Amino acid sequence: MVQKENVFRSIKVVELASFLAAPICGRFLADLGAEVIKIESLSGDELRYVATGEGRPFDPYEDTTWDLENAGKKSIAVNLKHESGKEVLLKLLKDANVFITNWRTSALVRNGLDYDTLRLKYPKLIFAQITGYGNKGPDKDLPGFDFTAFFARGGWLGTLYEKGTEPFNIPAGGGDHQAGMFLAAGILAALYRAEKTGKGEMVSVSLFHSAIFDLAVMIQSAQYGKVLYPIHKRDKINPLELPYKTKDDRYIQLAMPPYNRYYPVFIEAIGRPDLKDDERFKDINTMGENSKLVYDIVKEAMSTKTLAEWKKILTEADIPFAIAQLWEEILEDEQAWANDFLYKMKYDNGNVRTLIRPPVQFKEMGLPEYKRGPYLGENSREILQSLGYSDEEIKYLLDNKVVGDRIEIKKPS
């Protein structure tokens, strides 16, 4: 179902941001119907050059990561170090509703683009910023990527691996996308406030805060000193919240936080009804070190059957579980396709690739159109004309490399 109505068509968003976290926020607003104008340097967002590191062929005309973050936007390439380039940005902000950036605050201040400066010129503007570590404190101006500010500083990398082994391999974008969607939620709240009061707002989200919010249950519990990570899986208090290997070397993740309720059903499902009423195992509050024995029992039982066999058994018993899927399996996941989590994009070169939608859906508004991200400076002329620049003025900006017009992206040497 294609989107029925464009209720956000009156919203204008100016995005001065690179890579993933802030751009995915702009992508979501573009999906809603907002006009999102992405400002890039004349060399382009560095995200345009990461294909090889992600295992994709370098092709600016078939760039799935770029489209994931930037679908539906317009691009203008501007040299902001030139006074005429900065004037273009300020003219864009004059009638904008939202300004999204992931520039560090120190850089924004140097360029007169910080919230306190812009609010004097544009009092109704929503200023939305992604930072690595927040806007205060000794580390506020450190460079922040999700690898560092989210996964490492935020407590994921140092805890969520088997004790005695090494930290897991970080997936690109995992923290960025969460922070970006948090920022989108804040922007929508600020837009509602602006509509009611006529006043703008500064909305900020940091990768660090996003990470510790996601781990809040465990971080808060850590202050009691009972559970210290990393741990051996065998030492986990609730052994029914762990992944177990099947006979055919696949993993199944169990999820039974209310241990006492699920234990008798699960232990019977895995072929050990003799342990159903065993006083050592049936109550998590008194089980103590016997949890290790439950782990051993479950581990042994799970190793005796294949993934397909366990899927049937656990589904029939209504046990909460999921197969630890491989990424290529997700591309073919029937449930994902049935719910429009995935979609097909046909590129100008004729190739058709699978892309993933942002994770918010609307019943009445429907789905947005399938649009690729813009080529570098693809909309520069159109945007300048909309700002009132004459043909002569546009020619001056282009000739003097203040603005670029559909610049070719070349593979890094």
Catalytic residues: 176
Axis-axis angle for helices 21-32, 174-197 (nearest 10):
50
Which residues, including other chains, have CB under 8 Å from residue 354's CB and lie 6 or more apart? 331, 342, 343, 344, 345
Cα–Cα distance measured from residue 287 to residue 281, given in angstroms and rounded to the nearest whole number? 6
CB distance 264 to 276 below 8 Å: yes
